[in-house]
A and B are shown apart, each in its own frame.
Chain A
Amino acid sequence: MMGFLSFTEKLKKRKNKLVHSDKVEKNNVELKNGIIYREINGRREYSGATDTAKYWIETLDTLQEKIHFVDFLAEIIKDDVRTDYMASIIYCEDIKNIRDEQVPFLLYYWDENNEKHFIYCKDEVKDLNLATDCVIVWPWTFEKIKNSFKTLHYHDFETTNNRQKAFYFKGLDLACVSKGNHSTLVGMGLKKGSILAREIYDIRKLFPHVDTDGVKWINHHTQEIIRSVPDFRFAILYQLARMKFELENID
């Protein structure tokens, strides 16, 4: 364990050195002692991923195949985001460096008449299976994971006590947890249990009104920047969902 920690510390120092070094230009790939490091540029990653998706979609023949392919890509990215956020607490020793919870997508938009609309769906709930559904968690202390594990390893996951609070994004099939992060994480790790998302947002309402470049959410009508994207992968997922929506609605 100690060896592992010291390795991560070394890795972090090396990364910091590379970031602040004048020799390394932005977005350059540095190969040093077998470690590839590249500073993440959201705009570049986003355009790379979406261009690739568009290229491969064009090569496919049937509409059904294209839709399945977009789904396939979205699933891969969702898996990456889910596991990355889950594991972040394991690699992060200092509580001050943990990731803050973020709103992954916009919850409102402005239409062509400049009127603000929310994408909240009233009177809907969604049951999320922690073994199969894509749920994003923001753990912030390892102690709580340990304690939840002690309980959930031997007992069933209880949902009746409403101790988890989740948001579900319709159209993307993705959920975020704002409260009960650690118990949800353990449930996901043990692949058991389910939680109830009591707030549902329909992301499909954003498609005609909101664009993204991987770094910012942009108003489609006025080209004004609305807000920054917390993680470029959310922008890619948004764009893939938009592609799927367009494919499904071709006359």
Chain B
Amino acid sequence: MRVYKKKRRYLTEKVNFEIILESYYKLLEPHEDWSNSGGEIANLRAKDALMIFYDDYINRQVDQNYIACQGLNYHYSFLDDLCLLRDLLRKQRYREVCWELRSLMHHELIFQKRIHNSLKQLLKDELMEAK
């Protein structure tokens, strides 16, 4: 089987976004569930994890260099994900939010300004101020 080396686009001289992303993966992975099963307690634990993520994410420095999306994505393809996250947050399906958020991190560059601002605002409105 042929194996392609994954091109990592986050490495800059100042901030290693790769390491930050790994920490986010570790934080969200135990809580993610595609169908939000596991009961109310698991759902609330997922919400706590999302709050920890939010607190860390808002204080992070954004990538100063513009990087265009690659693959099948385009500049605003993250809007789809944001709409879905907004829906799920309103329905309080936090385990599904963890799932979708990790997918967003994989497919999009969440430290780019265009995504950072929108995601920050969404989490602030629908997660932090809705508690």
A-B contact count, CB below 8 Å? 65
Q: Does A238 interact with chain B (Cβ within 8 Å)?
A: no
Supposing A98-B6, A99-B3, A165-B80 touch, asked if A140 and B71 sit within 8 A by C-beta, the answer is no
| SS class, residues of chain A in contact with chain B | mixed
A147 with B72: CB separation less than 8 A: no
Across the interface, name the chain B residue whose C-beta is closest to A183: B34
Q: Does A22 reach chain B (CB closer than 8 Å)?
A: no
- Across-interface contacts of B59 in A (CB, < 8 A): none
Determine whether the beta carbon of A151 is less than 8 Å from that of B34.
yes
For the complex, what is the distance from the CA of A108 to the CA of B4, rounded to whole Å?
25
From the candidates A92, A147, A165, name the one contacting B3 in the complex (CB within 8 A).
A92
B84 touching A162 by the CB < 8 A rule?
yes
Number of contact residues on A: which range applies?
20 to 34
Whole-angstrom CA separation of A165 from B74 in the bound complex:
13
Contact A100 B3 (CB under 8 A): no
Contact of A163 among B1, B37, B70, B84 (CB under 8 A): B84
Q: Which of B29, B37, B71 touches A178 (beta carbons < 8 Å)?
A: B71
| List of A residues within 8 angstroms of B29 by Cβ | 143
Instruction: Report whether B6 and A100 are in contact in the complex, using a CB–CB cutoff of 8 Å.
Output: yes
Shortest CB distance B74–A (Å): 10
Interface residues on B, range: 20 to 34
Instruction: Give which listed residue, A96, A103, A150, A161, contacts B6 with CB less than 8 A.
Output: A96
Q: Which residue of A lies closest to B72 (CB)?
A: A178
Q: Which residues of B are found within 8 Å of A176, using beta-carbon distances? A: 72
CB distance from A184 to the nearest CB of B (A): 12
Known contacts A91-B1, A92-B3, A163-B84, A101 near B34 by CB under 8 Å? no
Measured CB to CB, the nearest residue on chain B to A96 is: B6
Q: Does B106 contact A (CB under 8 A)?
A: yes
CA distance A162 to B85 in the complex (A): 12
A83 to chain B, nearest CB (A): 12
**Assuming A147-B32, A148-B34, A179-B80, is B1 touching A102 (CB within 8 A)?**
no
Q: Are B6 and A88 in contact (CB under 8 A)?
A: no
> From residue 170 to 198 of chain A, which have CB atoms closer than 8 A to chain B?
176, 178-179, 183
Tell me the residues in window 45-102 of chain A with beta carbons closer than 8 Å to chain B beta carbons: 84, 88, 91-92, 95-102
The verdict on A125 contacting chain B, using a C-beta distance below 8 Å, is no
Residues of B near A99 (CB, < 8 A) are 3-4
Q: Is B5 an interface residue (CB 8 A)?
A: yes
The CA-CA distance from A92 to B4 in the complex, in Å, is 11
Q: Which 3 A-B pairs have the closest CB atoms?
A: A178-B72, A151-B35, A101-B71
Question: Footprint of A on B, CB under 8 Å?
Answer: 1-7, 29, 32-35, 37, 70-73, 77, 80-81, 84, 99-100, 103, 106-107
Contacts A103-B72, A143-B29, A151-B37 aside, 15 further interface pairs with beta carbons under 8 A come to A92-B1, A98-B3, A100-B6, A102-B71, A102-B72, A143-B32, A147-B34, A150-B35, A155-B35, A163-B100, A167-B72, A178-B71, A178-B107, A179-B80, A179-B107
8 contacts between A and B (CB under 8 A): A99-B4, A100-B7, A148-B34, A150-B35, A151-B34, A151-B37, A163-B84, A178-B72
